[in-house]
Structure 1
Amino acid sequence: MNNAKRLVRRLLVGGIATATVAAGLVVGVTGPASADPVAGLVGVGSDTTQDVMNGAADAIGLGVVGSYDAIDPITKAQHLVISGKRSCTFNRPNGSGQGVTALRQSGNVAAAISGTFPDEVDLPELGCIDFARSSSDPGTNQSTNGRWAYIPFALDAVAVASQHFGDATATNYNALSFDPNNSPTGQGTLQKLYRDGTAVTVNGVTYDPQCNVAPCAGGATPIHLYIPQNGSGTRTYWLGKMGITTVPNWVHDHAWNGTDYTGTLVEEHDGTVLEADALGIAPFSIAQWVSQRNGHGDRRHNAHLHSLVNVTTSAVFNPLTGAFPTVETGGLNSSFLVRREVYNVVEWSKVNVGNAAFDASLYAVFGPGQGLCGKSSVILNYGFGLLNSAPLGHTCGAIVDGLRAYAAG
C-alpha cells in the first residue's frame, strides 16, 4: 500500500474486494464502488488516534468502523465537506474538540452547543456521526450524568520535539525539567518557559521564549514555543500540563516566518514547522512518533523527541524504551512523566447495557473486552501502550460515570 493510501481512513464494507479512495477513506466493497460510501460506525476527531483507529478498523473488518482523518489525507486541507453515510454531509472536524462538537451536533443538540468550529458551515445531520476520537479527557465538561461517555482504549505520553538530534542543542533540550506535582506553579524549566515566558538556563545556555531573533538580552538564545492548532486535544492537554489557562503571546500555533508568527499552522504530531525552524520546540505524542516511525503515515519531517527531568527527584525519563538518546529505538516508555489515556467518545445510553437505547454494534466495538480492546497487537504496533494494569486508573473499554461529559447534551 502506498503512502497516500496509508494516510486515508480504512473502511471495510461487506468484505475486502476492491479499494476506492473517496472522501478521505478507503472503501473495500464486494460490488461496484459507491460514489457516496456507507459506513457502519462513523468516527471523526483526534489526529493523535486517527492512525491507530485506521488499523483497528482494518482488523475489525466487516464494514463496522469508518474513521475519518482530521485533515484531508491527500491535500492536507482543513474542514472540507465529507459524507460519512448516505444523506450525510458535514465539514471534516480537525482535532478532538472539533470531533466532539460534531458528534454532539449529530446527536441533535446543536442548540445546546455554544458555537461551531472555524469554517463549519455544514453541520452533520442527525445520526451522521457515531463516535469521536479524543486525546483528552472530559476536563471541565465532566458530569456524572453526562450524555457522552469517554471510553479509554490505550496509553499515550507527550514529549517535547525539535529538529535536533545528537547535537549540543539536543543535549540541552533533553535536560529540560518538569514538575509533575504542581503544574500551575511548578518549577520545571519547561513550565517556566511555556507558562511564565521566563528565560531558563540549561547546561550553561540561557533560552529566552520572548526573544525571537538573536541577539537576545544578556546573550540568551531565542527559543520558539509551539502548540498544535486550535481544537486539538493535545493542545488542551499540553496547556493544562504547563499550567496555562489563557495562551500567552510567547506561545504560538503558527510558524515563525522570519518576521512574525503568521506562517504555517502547527498541526499536531506533524514535524513540518519544526523542520523549518531550528529554534522551535513543540509537544509531540510519543505513540504517534513511534507509529509514524513504524511506517504509518510518517509526517515527522525529522522531528526528534526529547527526555524530561523530574524536577523533584532529578530522575531522567526517556520517551522511548530503546537506547535513547544514542539511537531512537524501542517503543513508548509507559512510565514517561507526561502520560494520558486516549478515548473514543460515544453516547452513554448506547453503551449502557440494559438501556432502551443500547446499541449492540457500538458496544461490541468500544465496550470492555470487546472488538477494539481485543486488538492489543494493533494498539502496540501503532505506538500506544496497553491499559491492562490501569496505569492511569482505567482499563480498556471502561464505561464509568467519572468519564462522562455534557449533562446538557
Structure 2
Amino acid sequence: MINTKRLVRRLFVGGIATATVAAGLVVGVAGPASADPVGSLAGVGSDTTQDVMNGAADAIGLGVVGSWDAIDPISKAQHLVISPKRDCTFNRPNGSGQGVTAIRQSGGVTAAINAPFADEVDQPEAGCVDFARSSGDPGTNQSNSGRWVYIPFALDAVSIASQHFGDATATNYNALSIDPLNATTGQGTLQKLYRDGAAVTVNGTTYDPQCNVAPCAGGATPIHLYIPQNGSGTRSFWLSKMGIGTVGGWVHDHAWNGTDYTGALVEEHDGTVLQNDALGLAPFSVAQWVAQRNGHGDRRHGAHLHSLVNVTTSAVSNPLTGAFPTVETGNLQSTFIVRREVYNVVEYAKVKQGDPKFDATLYSVFGPQQGLCGKSAVILSYGFALLSSSPLGHTCGAIADNLRAYAND
C-alpha cells in the first residue's frame, strides 16, 4: 500500500533533458503515486548526502533521477512505505547501509533479500532502486570484481559536536585528541573514551563515559557518548576511526532521558540529542553542519563543532576554515584530520562502457566529468569540498576497481 503522506522526491539530470522529453516521462513534485516519474532512476540511503542531492535536483530542474530522503520529510518517521517508481513500493531505507541493502535486494541478491534491515517488511521489486547514497566506502566488502561500485562525488569531514561554545567545556572538547593512523591501539583521548570506555583528563577535568550522573568516582565529570542510528554510514565511519569492533555499553544510539538511554533514536547530523543533553558528545558531518548553517534544512538545534588534536604531532586540526573556534565561520577544512569521500552506489556493469548492460543515462549522471560532477556550486553550497583533485585517492565520478564491492552478488 502506498503511503499517502507528502512524499518529497527530488529530480536531477546531467545533460539528458532531451532524452527525458523524448521518453515521455511523467514528472512532478512529491505527492500521490501518480506524480512519481515513470521509468526514472530512483535513489535512497544516506542522510549525509540527501540534502546535497536534493540541492542538485533543485539547481538542475526536472529530470530523470529521484533521490528520496532517509526519513519521511514531514512526519520524520522511519521506514514508511514509498513508491519511487510505478509498480514499486518498499520501506524507505534510513542511512547508507540500508540504502545499499535496498539496491542489492532490487538487484535480486539472495543474501540481501534474506537479511533485511530492521522493520523492512516490504522489499523493493526488481529494478526499483538504481543508486544508493552512501557516506561510507565499501569497507570489508571491497572486491575488485564486485558487482557494485561506489562512485565518489565530494569530500566530507566528521568531527565531534556538543551544545557547548565559548565555555570551559567547549575549550576542553576542542583539546580532545585522536590518533589518525592507529585507531585500534591509538592513545587519543577521544579514542580512549569511545573505544575503551576509559576516563580521560583534559585541562585538569576528568571525563568518565561510564558515569551517567554526578557525583562520579574520584570527582570525575560524566560524559554521554553518542553515535547515529544503526545502518548509518556515519556510524560505521566513526566506529572505524575510533577503533571499535564491538560497541561498548558506554556508547549509545538512543538519547539519555534522565534515567537511562531509552530516549529518542539518535539521527545523524541532527542536534536534537545534544540540545537536550548538556553532557552529550556526538559525531557530526562538517559538510552537513555548514549546509545547515547555510539554511539548508537546519536541524543543528544549537550543536557546535569542535577541533581535534593530532596525537602524533600535537597539532590542532580545525573543522572549519574561518576564525574557529572563536567564531564558527568559513567552510569545511579540506585538510581536517578526519575526512572521507561520499558516494553513490550503482551496478558496475551499468557504468562500464562497452559492457552489454551499460546504461548511458546512469553514466551521464554519475560518471567522471558528467552531470553531478558539474554541479560544483551546489556541492560547495551544501558544505562539501570538491574532488577536483584526489586527496583520498579518487576524483569526482571515478569508477575504480578498488571501490567495487560484493563479489558474490
TM-score bracket, normalised by the shorter chain, equals over 0.9
Partner of 1:379: 379
CA distance in 1, matches of 2:320, 2:191: 22
- The letter of the residue matching 1:326 is T
Q: Is the contact between residue 28 and residue 36 of structure 2 (CA under 8 Å) also seen in structure 1?
A: no
Offset at 1:113? 4.9
CA distance in 1, matches of 2:299, 2:353: 40
Unaligned runs of 5+ in 1: 1-6, 24-32
Unaligned runs of 5+ in 2: 1-6
- The letter of the residue matching 1:399 is I
Q: Is the contact between residue 101 and residue 112 of structure 2 (CA under 8 Å) also seen in structure 1?
A: no
The 1:18–1:394 alpha-carbon spacing in structure 2 relative to 1, beyond 3 Å, is closer
CA distance in 2, matches of 1:129, 1:20: 19
- The letter of the residue matching 2:230 is N
Question: Is 1:94 matched up with 2:103?
Answer: no
Note the aligned Cα RMSD (angstroms).
1.7
Partner of 2:106: 106
Three-state SS of the structure 2 residue aligned to 1:201 is: strand
Partner of 2:209: 209
The 1:245–1:120 alpha-carbon spacing in structure 2 relative to 1, beyond 3 Å, is same
Question: Is 1:126 matched up with 2:135?
Answer: no
Partner of 1:227: 227
1:21 to 14, 30, 45: 30
CA distance in 2, matches of 1:178, 1:68: 35
CA distance in 1, matches of 2:28, 2:38: 14
Q: Is the contact between residue 9 and residue 29 of structure 2 (CA under 8 Å) also seen in structure 1?
A: no
Question: Is 1:49 matched up with 2:49?
Answer: yes
Partner of 2:3: none
Partner of 1:146: 146
Offset at 1:398? 0.5
- The letter of the residue matching 2:58 is D
Q: Is the contact between residue 363 and residue 370 of structure 2 (CA under 8 Å) also seen in structure 1?
A: yes
- The letter of the residue matching 1:73 is P
Three-state SS of the structure 1 residue aligned to 2:349 is: helix
Offset at 1:111? 4.5
Partner of 2:255: 255
Offset at 1:34? 2.8
Q: Is the contact between residue 37 and residue 64 of structure 2 (CA under 8 Å) also seen in structure 1?
A: no
Question: Is 1:394 matched up with 2:403?
Answer: no
CA distance in 2, matches of 1:80, 1:378: 29
Identical-residue share of aligned pairs (%)? 80
- The letter of the residue matching 2:94 is N
Q: Is the contact between residue 177 and residue 190 of structure 2 (CA under 8 Å) also seen in structure 1?
A: yes
Count of residue correspondences: 393
Q: Map of 1:10-409 to 2, 5 A cutoff? A: 10-11=10-11, 20-22=29-31, 34-38=34-38, 40-111=40-111, 113=113, 115-409=115-409
Q: Is the contact between residue 52 and residue 378 of structure 2 (CA under 8 Å) also seen in structure 1?
A: yes
Q: Is the contact between residue 60 and residue 371 of structure 1 (CA under 8 Å) also seen in structure 2?
A: no
Offset at 1:112? 5.2
CA distance in 2, matches of 1:110, 1:212: 43
Deviations 1:297-335 (A, max 9, x none): 111111000000001111101110011111111000000
- The letter of the residue matching 1:116 is P
Q: Is the contact between residue 27 and residue 37 of structure 2 (CA under 8 Å) also seen in structure 1?
A: no
Q: Is the contact between residue 256 and residue 262 of structure 1 (CA under 8 Å) also seen in structure 2?
A: yes
CA distance in 2, matches of 1:39, 1:160: 41
Q: Is the contact between residue 8 and residue 31 of structure 2 (CA under 8 Å) also seen in structure 1?
A: no
Deviations 1:149-183 (A, max 9, x none): 00000000000000011111101000000111100
- The letter of the residue matching 1:134 is S
Deviations 1:210-249 (A, max 9, x none): 0000000000000000000000000000000000001110
The 1:275–1:188 alpha-carbon spacing in structure 2 relative to 1, beyond 3 Å, is same
Q: Is the contact between residue 9 and residue 30 of structure 2 (CA under 8 Å) also seen in structure 1?
A: no
Q: Is the contact between residue 207 and residue 222 of structure 2 (CA under 8 Å) also seen in structure 1?
A: yes
With structure 1 as the length reference, what TM-score do the two structures score? Answer: 0.93
The 1:114–1:207 alpha-carbon spacing in structure 2 relative to 1, beyond 3 Å, is farther
Offset at 1:38? 3.4
Three-state SS of the structure 1 residue aligned to 2:42 is: strand
Three-state SS of the structure 2 residue aligned to 1:218 is: helix
With structure 2 as the length reference, what TM-score do the two structures score? Answer: 0.93
The 1:82–1:93 alpha-carbon spacing in structure 2 relative to 1, beyond 3 Å, is same
The 1:112–1:212 alpha-carbon spacing in structure 2 relative to 1, beyond 3 Å, is closer
Three-state SS of the structure 1 residue aligned to 2:34 is: coil
Q: Is the contact between residue 39 and residue 63 of structure 1 (CA under 8 Å) also seen in structure 2?
A: no
Three-state SS of the structure 2 residue aligned to 1:22 is: coil
